[in-house]
Structure 1
Amino acid sequence: MRPGCSNLVKLSGLIFASVCAWYLGYLFADVVPEDSLASAIENIQSIGEKPVLKAPPPKRQKCDHWSPCSPGQYAYRLLSGGGKEKMAKICFEDELLISEQKGNVGRGINIAIVNYETGKVAATQFFDMWEGEFSGPMTAFIKNAPQKSLLLMVTHDDGSTRLKEDAKNAIAELGSKEIRNLRFRSSWVFLAAKGFKLPDNIETEKINHSNNSKNRYNGWPAEIQIEGCIPSNLT
């Protein structure tokens, strides 16, 4: 065969093969769904890549505890006010009983009463200990709490100036060891049980008198808190 004829045959074969390849590709693209094709290409590209392991986000616990309470326990968190603007909070079983969001927190001593057997809030109230005479009404509020109640108390701003002896006695009878040490603008939190006894190993009270003018609240005591878990079968 002449050299010219051989080259022509090779060129014709190449053109024919290219046309066949194009036609087969056209048919394949028409038959295979576009999303499947894209997925296949993505899978091919990902071959050899190192898998990225992502840690699952931490599960939020009741009352923002770091670790969960066991089944059959109540979760609580008491947070005093800090400075002028940071209001106090009381959380019980992941429900805010007293907070700025609920609009039921104020200057003085804030108290929530919880039915221990049901875990439900029975009453909330704040008592201004700077202006007005509310020590008497607060004493009555505490004494009228039913048996088998939890009483959760936190201060915001000043809780001591107009706090009278009858109120101090009522709170001391519930087990407070710090109520007589409360000073002007002390931060104080207290958890008490009426009609039953709380376990000795849980934190129930904390107080802070610090009014360092160099702290972040310009002389006001910083907020303090207690949190923990209470067995629901103590009575």
Structure 2
Amino acid sequence: MRNPAVLNLAAVISVLLITWRLAINSFDVGEKAGNNLGFNDKDQTKPKSPKGTTTEPKCSLARVCPSDHFALRISSGAANVVGPTICFDGKIIMSHALNNVGPGLNIVVVNGKSGTVEKFGYLNMINGNTEDILAYLKEIQSGMIVLVASFDDSSPKMTDDIREVFVGMGSTLIKSVKRRDSWVFAGRAGTENKSLFEKQTVNDDKTNIYEGWPELVEMGGCIPRNQTDLKGSL
């Protein structure tokens, strides 16, 4: 058995590293998400750079995304200690440091054309109401970009109907996500085309790096504004 203090130390180090790496792009996200379906509606105007201006890579990517793409990076939570981080177009929308994440599935919904963050929050997959969770997911309009990061355990309230909604957004791994797995995903509502923005770390006692928990999972890349072909990049 591993000493719980090791887990706590690792969690603190993870928070510091993730916060330091992305802090330069952070912004105020307002009110903390609610306990069950806590989503914040945001009417944001996406800043534009002057034509011909060379910008630095956003969301800690290795390269600058094309002008018709958005940068994204998503990290799942680490065990039930350190929350996930979702960065979109150079801004941290949700993170442990911003204190706006929760257990289950942390989700950011973005207008696929303008890049405006429409709402964000978390679906409480431990104590939430499955009917409310499913209703919220089904209300996401076609064409919206959906960014998802798991934290703690996303399986207790995960029904087949909820899994099918994510399949309809391009997920190919959601049907295999089980207890305490780490999962990150970016897709588009209203399309069943396979998304290349998806990763999973399986909860397995043989490979877990925390006591009873798998390591966090992270991915990033450039997602097109209004294309169905997603070109991933790490």
Give the superposition deviation at 1:162. 1.8
SS in 2 for 1:103: coil
**1:62 aligns to what SS in structure 2?**
coil
Q: Which residue of 2 aligns with 1:93?
A: 89
1:227: Cα distance to partner? 0.6
Q: Distance in 2 between matches of 1:181 and 1:75?
A: 27
Helix, strand or coil at the partner of 2:221: strand
SS at match of 1:65: coil
Superposed, 1:130-209 pairs within 5 Å as 130=126, 132-195=127-190, 203-209=196-202
Residue 230 of structure 1: aligned partner: 223
In angstroms, what is the RMSD of aligned CA positions?
2.3
Deviation string, structure 1 residues 97-128 (Cα, Å, up to 9, x no partner) = 21123322111111110001110110112122
- With the length of structure 2 as denominator, give the TM-score of the two structures: 0.67
Residues 172-218 of structure 1: CA deviation (Å, up to 9, x unaligned): 222211112111100011111124577x7x72211111444775422
Instruction: Report how far residue 134 of structure 1 moved.
Output: 2.9
Larger radius of gyration between Structure 1 and Structure 2: 1
Matching of residues 33-44 of structure 1 within 5 Å: none
Question: CA, structure 1 residues 70+166, in 2 after alignment: closer, same or farther (shift >3 Å)?
Answer: same
Farther-moved stretch of structure 1 (153-162 vs 212-221):
212-221
What one-letter code is carried by the residue in structure 1 that aligns with 2:62?
A: W
Can you list the C-alpha shifts for 1:135-172, whole angstroms capped at 9, x where unaligned?
22221121111222001111001001221222122112
Contact 1:203–1:228 (CA<8 Å) still a contact in 2?
A: no
Deviations 1:12-50 (CA, angstroms, capped at 9, x unpaired): xxxxxxxxxxxxxxxxxxxxxxxxxxxxxxxxxxxxxxx
Q: 2:75 matched to 1:79? A: yes
CA distance in 1, matches of 2:186, 2:110: 11
Paired with 2:168 and 2:225, the residues of 1 have a C-alpha distance of 22
Q: Give the equivalent residue in structure 2 for 1:65.
A: 61
> For residues 151 and 100 of structure 1, what CA distance do their matches in structure 2 show?
19
Q: Distance in 2 between matches of 1:78 and 1:138?
A: 21
Q: SS where residue 154 of structure 2 aligns? A: coil
Identity across the alignment (%)? 29
Question: Does structure 1 retain, via aligned residues, the 8 Å contact 2:170–2:192?
Answer: no
When normalised by structure 1's length, the TM-score is 0.67
Aligned counterpart in structure 2 of residue 221 of structure 1, from 204, 211, 214: 214
Which digits, 9 at most, give the CA deviation of each residue in 1:52-85, with x for residues without a partner?
xxxxxxx952001122212222101111111232
> Which letter does structure 1 place at the counterpart of 2:181?
S
Q: 2-side partners of 1:182 and 1:62: how far apart?
A: 29
- Segment drifting more, 132-141 vs 142-151: 132-141
